[in-house]
Structure formats: C-alpha cells, structure tokens
Chain A
Amino acid sequence: MRARLNALAAAALTVASASVTLVGAAQAADQPKHGGIVRFYHRETPPSLSILEEATFSVNAPSMAFYNNLIVYDQHKPQNSDQTIVPELATSWAWDKANTALTFKLREGVTWHDGKPFTSKDVKCTMDLLLDKNPNDKLRKNPRKGWFEEISDVTTNGDFEVTMHLKRPQPSLLAMFASGYTPMYPCHVPSAQQRTHPIGTGPFMFQSEQQNESIKLVKNPHYWKKDLPYLDGIEYTIIKNRATAVLAFVAGKVDVTFPTEMTKALEADIKKQDPTAICEIGPINVNTNLIINRDKAPFDNAELRSAMNMALDRKAFIDLILQGAGDAGGSLLPAPEGVWGMPPDMLKTIPGYGDVAKDREKARAIMTKAGYSKDKPLKIKVSTRNLATYRDPAVVLIDQLKSIYVDAELEPVESSAWFAKVARGDYSVGLNLTGNGIDDPDQSFYENYGCGSQRNYTHYCNKDLQKLFDEQSQMTDVAKRKKLVWEIDKKIQEDVARPILYHARTGTCWKPYVKNLTVMTNSVYNGYRYEDLWLDK
C-alpha cells in the first residue's frame, strides 16, 4: 500500500514538475527578446520619407517608426477608435468646458534623434506647418491641411504644455492627432530634410535609403520608453515585382510582407508553400467608387445618375475582383471592423444595395424614359487610372452597365494625368479608389463630400447636408453621433454623390518568429510604430 502511495506521489511530482517546466518554457517563449533586424519587403520607393507631406502608406510604413505623435492609436488594438487612443509625447490631454480648447501636457526628458530636447515649441512648429502659418518653413505639399481647419491658434504654456484653440468644438480632433499621419516634427530641422533624412523622437533612427533598393532603420538607443525598442533595426527591401516578393517571403529572405499587400489568392499561395506563415486578411478602409460628372450632360440629369447606381451588382464586383474578400457599404467602413459604417439592414434600403434584378428593371425604365434602348444605347467612356486595381473593376463596371443600355468604353489614363483630368471635369464616368486615413466621419465627409473640398472630385454639394456634417462633428455623445452619421451616409448614397462599389479586404503575412505584430483593421495608415516588435529566434 505504502509502495503504491509512494509511486502515486512520485508520479504526481513528476507531472507537477513537468507542468512547471512547460509553463516556464511557455513564459520564456512569450518573454520579448532584444536584438535582431526584422526584414520587410516594400512595394515601391516611397515619394519621400516625410509623413506630413505625403498621402500614401508607402511612406507611413517605414517612416512611422522615426517619429512619435502627441497621442496615438494603441498599436496592438486592431480597431482604431476613440477608446484606443493612448498617450505618447503628451502625457495627458483635456478639453475645456466649451470643448474649444484642447490642452496637452507634454512628456519631459524626450530628445530628438540628434540629441536636442523635445519641447512645446516643436509642437507649435509642427502645427504651424500643418496650418501653413510657419513664417520660416513650409511643407512642399500639405495634403491634410483640412484636418486641422478648425484650429484657429496654437499656444504654449512653458516648455511642456500646449493648447489648440478651436473655432468650434470638434471631438474628432483627437482621432486626427492619433493617426500615423500626424507625427511631431522638430522645430530646428527644416521640413525639407524630413523627406530624405528624417529626425524624430521615435524608436528607430534613419540609417540609409537607396532608391529602388532599400530603406534601413536603426535602433534609437536613447528612446524615451525604457527598454524599447526590442529590435536592433528594421530593413525594407524594395521589391517591385509582387511575384518575386512573395517568393522572397517564402524563401525567408524577408520576414514580413508589405502590409496589406496580399490578395486572397496570394495568401492561399503563400500558405501552401509555407504552412508556418501567419497571414491575416482584413479590411483596409480603402473603397472603390464611381465618380459621375454631374456638371456635364447627360449626367447632369439626377435620374440618370440614379440609374447608373442601380445598375451595380456589388456582390459580383466583390466575387470577381476580390474572390469574395470585400464588403458592400457606404462611404464609411462597414462594421464590425469599421466603427461608423451603416448597419446592413439600413444599407439594404438604399437603391442599388438591394435586389439587383429589380433595381436594374427600374434603371432600364429611367433609361427608356430618357430615350435610350438596347438598339440606341447611351455611349460613354469610363475613365480610370491605368493601374490594375483601377482597370479591373472598371472592366466589370462596363459589363454591368450594358444591362441598362449603356455602351461604355474604357479610357485608361496615365496616373500622372488622372487627378488633373478629374479636376478639369474632363470625364463622364470615372472609377476611383479612396483611402481613409482615420475611421472617422469628419475626415470622410468633409474631404470627399464637403462643398468646395479639393478632394470632392464630383463637386457634390448639399448645403443641408453640410450643416449636418457640422452638427455631427460637434457631437460628443458617440451613440447619438453614430445615428446621425448613418443618416448622412445614407443620404450621400441616395444622392449618388460617389457610389461605393466595395471596401476591399487584403492581407499581411509574417513568419511565426515575428512577435507582437498587429495589423490595423480600419486604417492602413496608423500601425507602424514597431517599438515592441521582437524576433523569437
């Protein structure tokens, strides 16, 4: 009996010690390791490294790690929202009672990569650059000037406090500041230098950039966050040919693919060749849309614009172009990844989002009334940028328009001439892609549908709706704001301001030894700080 008890006790001890060992090993495996260089491939040579001057995440992906914001979206919460904003160079922030002054308390002891201290003067300089008020410096391009239009003045109170004074309440200002698009620039470095040799306070410093070859970042040894970054550096190898890039990833020449660059088919191909690869496919808050020239005949006729919208079979677009990896939605990214997207039930009530056959029947009736028929179709050109992501859906669109007596011809336009052509109004129907820097109605509404906005390519202008833009923009109650935002978005779609064809989902793949990598699901511009990324090898 005693012998059996001893044996049982021994067995229990063995199991217990084995469990302790396993738990210990698991904990050790989760323990971040210092050192190593993570290798990404980059899809192209970015136009420059200056985030404030550019509007493509080809810049944000390598450059976000050079900088810090005042506040930033939590880099490990895939869905950006007001609840995921965390302090960075600001330790705290507060609105005044009228919600027209936003004060940031700044972190002390932070230095720029060249050793100079970070102070409120740098914040003021950055804001003056963005507001185009800096007497000594000017951004070559200022694509997000409109984000900060409500800021009338920026004042400092000592070295570590800064206040933004607003013309009216705008709670979404926090989202603008939390975006990867709003890093702080040093006052003592000309903004032009940021294009070629960025100086920031971020976890990584600029090492080198060779056009068409590579971008190299090296660890900032004086980073203000203790023990970070874990990595010694980050390397981006520029591989323009996607097939080569995928093979380079499979062969282990790079550890991570370029963010959100993998299609569903490519992701399946990667998983087949390297089953250990981790791949995530998700929305990127970039929508493909139709721009219809409402200033010119025949589409100055609202009924014809409506017919165009009702001819669309959005599911067919998603199945054909994205192999099902996409979502139908309004101008704001649909839930669950999107914070502000219209609920599906509401979406279905909008013409063009319900029964395709019935909608097309209505569209044909409109076309017949306007004098068009199968034998006498409306002849138009569908203009689009001469890039596959634009051309492919344009071809599907042309096919779908045949169902309502529209005989369309594809007009591929050289990329460099595209926006100038659209600005001149030298198009009838165009196919366009719109990316949203942040998942917030203010950015989308004012930029794309606001009266007089530079990016409102169709010149849609609804004064009543504009008032509602301002109303929702000032609301602090999120639930109430959401309801109003849905109504506005519904109205925009009903007005055929810029019919949304689909919101694409694309993927990122990485090797299993790359730890702490989070892919944002409602913006492709905000998740590249990489300060706590580490390699388990």
Chain B
Amino acid sequence: MAGYLIRRFFLMLVTLFGISVLVFVMLRLVPGNIADILFDAAGLIDTADKAKLEHDLGIDRPIIVQYGNWVNGLAHGDLGYSYVSEKPALQEIAPRIPITAKLAGLALLFSVAFGVPLGVISAVRQNSALDYVLRVISLSGLSMPAFWLGLLILMACVAWFGTIPIYTDPPKGFWNTLYLYSIPAAAVGFRSSALVMRLTRSSMLEVLRQDYIRTARAKGASLRNVNYHHALRNALLPVVTVIGIEAAFLMGGLIVTETVFNIPGVARFLVEAIRWRDYPIVQNLVMFIAVVAVGMNFLIDVLYAVLDPRIRLSG
C-alpha cells in the first residue's frame, strides 16, 4: 500500500512539472501578448513604445529565462504581478478560489445527493415507470446546455419573483451566501447529478447481476441489505472516479455558469486573463487547477485502495 502511494505521489509531481512546461510554452505560442492587446485596444501601432512595454514586463527575454524566473518565484512564494491590474498575482487569485470552491462544493453536493440515490432507485426499479421518469430527467440534465439552463432560471426568477440571484456584491451571512450560490450550484449540479445518476444506475445493474448478489439473496439477506450493503459499495468504484473528475473539472470549468450568474470565480477570471495574455495570472491559475485535478486523481487512487482490497494487495 505504501509503495503504491509513493509511486502515485511521484507520478503526480512529474505530471505537474509536465503541465507547468506545457502551460508556459503553449501560452507563448498563442499569437499576441499583453503589449499587442493593450496597443490594439488603443488602435495604436507604435512599435517603439510597444517594445518598451515588452521589455518592462520582461516578455522579450528568452522563454527559458522567463520559465526559470517563474519557477524560481514559485519556489519562493512569489507568483509575480498581474499585467492588467498591476497587483500581486496572489492577491488577485486568492480571493477567487473560495468563491469557486463554494460553488463547486455545493454543485458536487447536489450531484451526489441526488445522483447516487436516484441512480440506485432507478437500477433497483429497472424498467418501472419511476425508472423511465428518472431516465428522462437524467437525459435532459445531460443534454441541456448550462448556458441555456442558467439563463432560463434567471428569466424565471425575474418574471416570478422580480429579483435575480446574481453576484453583484460579496454575500453577507450564511443564508445570503446559500441563496446566492445554491441556484447556480443547482444549475451545474443538475447536469453533474444526471451523469452520476446514469453511471450509478448502470454500475448497480451490472453488480446486481453478479453471482454473489444472487447468493446473498438466496441466503435470505434483506433486499435493503443486498442493495445498499453488498451491491452499492461495489458499484461505487466507477462513480467515485467520475465524482473525482467532476470535482476537479468544477474548480476550473465553470466558465459558463460563472458568466451567466456573474460569479467572479476562477474560471471567468482565467478566461479573461487569457484574453489579455496576462501570463502570471494564467500560468499560476492553470497550475492551481492542475494541482487540484492531479490531487483529486491522487485522492481517487487512495480511495480505490480503500474501497477495493485487490488494489491494496497488488500494490
């Protein structure tokens, strides 16, 4: 088990190094830099002034030097300065992480709270009317674009309640926070729960057909005991994988939801930073998202080992 975890940990470090190089190089392969964009916004083509700005920002140096400076800064806790706001990158990034974390956490909670139980019910009551209804709901959750669903929710809120749950100021207090985050989280969680539900259902159906389930039933175990103790635990393995991937995705992939509900989270900030070629922000944010994604994968690997003794033993 320890060997398994150590191997996974080192793999995680190598992955992060690879990502850092990729992000750094790819960002510079994209046409245009902050100087191009700033001068473009003013409709100016003043090459001397533009070159001066590039020099001041250090983006005219060889790429390897720039990479070295960045990694060296990271090692010392210095993430650099945002080219746009001219504030420390850490100061710009840090307040946005809890915002997205709250939204992602609530969305994940929504997806697990609805997806797993409904998936189990759908599997246990296979081909019943309830199963069909749940399958239609899950299919609609998967096929409805988040952008469209989000706008629909906002329009309904304005039409029925005369108000709109969008972020215009930081929420004050627990209930205000819950009000502001729960609706976008539900919009995201709807799609996510549909995925979890479908996966739980198919996984459960597969497990329920296994010999050991039949044996358990033959031995007189109660339906509840068979379904929830024997079947669900084994069916959860692929579900846990998907939940982990979803969690990592939600930390950086909520661009549409953050835009529609005007939430100043990580994803919207990242897209805006890419638009401005704000390298320090993009590099550090992508690395943060990468750390979350790789960390989640590591956690899933650990959970695998916990849930499945075969992995533990073979490791």
Show the binding face of A for B, using Cβ within 8 Å: 39, 45, 47-48, 53-56, 140-143, 192, 195-196, 209-214, 237-241, 243-244, 247-248, 250-254, 273, 414-420, 423, 454-455
Contacts and interface: CB of A to CB of B under 8 A. Distances in A.
Interface in B44-71: 44-46, 49, 53
B41 A55 contact: yes
B37 interface: yes
A238 B84 CA distance: 15
A45 B82 CA distance: 14
B85 A211 contact: yes
A472 to B, nearest CB: 23
Interface stretch (B104-112, B231-239, B262-270, B285-293): B262-270
Contact of A250 (B43, B82, B158, B260): B158
Contacts of A53: 42
Contact of A248 (B36, B43, B262): B262
A245 to B, nearest CB: 8
Given A241-B259, A414-B32, A47 B38 contact: yes
A73 B267 CA distance: 41
A175 B295 CA distance: 60
B47 to A, nearest CB: 9
Contacts of B276: 47
A415 B40 contact: yes
Rank and list the top 7 A-B pairs by shortest CB-CB distance, nearest first: A416-B32, A55-B42, A251-B164, A143-B42, A423-B45, A213-B264, A416-B37
Contacts of B13: none
Nearest to B272: A212
Contacts of B84: 45, 47-48, 211
Contact of B43 (A39, A143, A239, A252): A143
B210 interface: no
Q: Is the interface of B mostly helix, strand, loop or mixed?
A: loop
A416 B31 CA distance: 8
Q: Which of A56, A212, A248, A455 has the most CB of B within 10 A?
A: A212
Contacts of B36: 416-417, 420
A242 to B, nearest CB: 11
A254 B166 CA distance: 11
Interface in B139-191: 151, 154-155, 157-158, 162-164, 166, 168-169
B260 A241 contact: yes
Contacts of B37: 415-416
B114 interface: no
B40 A454 contact: no
Contacts of A240: 259, 262, 268
B271 to A, nearest CB: 9
A141 B40 contact: no
A344 to B, nearest CB: 29
Given A54-B42, A142-B46, A213-B264, 16 more contacts: A45-B272, A47-B84, A141-B42, A141-B44, A141-B46, A196-B85, A212-B264, A212-B269, A214-B168, A252-B163, A415-B40, A416-B37, A417-B40, A418-B40, A419-B39, A455-B44
Contacts of A47: 38, 41, 84, 276
Contact of A142 (B49, B53, B92): B49
Nearest to A197: B86
B135 interface: no
A253 B168 contact: yes
A141 B31 contact: no
A2 B166 CA distance: 68
B151 to A, nearest CB: 6
Contacts of A196: 85-87
Contacts of B268: 212, 240
A241 B262 contact: yes
A192 B57 CA distance: 14
Given A54-B42, A455-B43, A244 B260 contact: yes
A143 B262 CA distance: 32
20 contacts: A140-B38, A141-B38, A141-B39, A143-B44, A196-B85, A196-B86, A196-B87, A212-B264, A212-B268, A238-B262, A241-B260, A254-B168, A414-B31, A415-B37, A416-B32, A416-B40, A416-B277, A417-B32, A417-B40, A419-B40
B40 A420 contact: yes
Contacts of B45: 419-420, 423, 454
B3 to A, nearest CB: 45
A416 B262 CA distance: 25
Contacts of B95: 210
B279 interface: no
A446 to B, nearest CB: 14
A416 B168 CA distance: 29
A273 B86 CA distance: 40
A214 B166 CA distance: 13
Given A240-B259, A454-B44, A454-B45, A211 B163 contact: no
A104 to B, nearest CB: 27
A141 B49 contact: yes
Contacts of B262: 237-241, 244, 248
B24 interface: no
Interface in B229-282: 259-262, 264, 268-269, 272, 276-277
B154 A247 contact: yes
Interface in B79-138: 82, 84-87, 92, 95
Nearest to B45: A423
A167 B75 CA distance: 57
A250 B41 CA distance: 31
Contact of A247 (B86, B158, B169): B158
A253 B33 CA distance: 36
B1 to A, nearest CB: 44
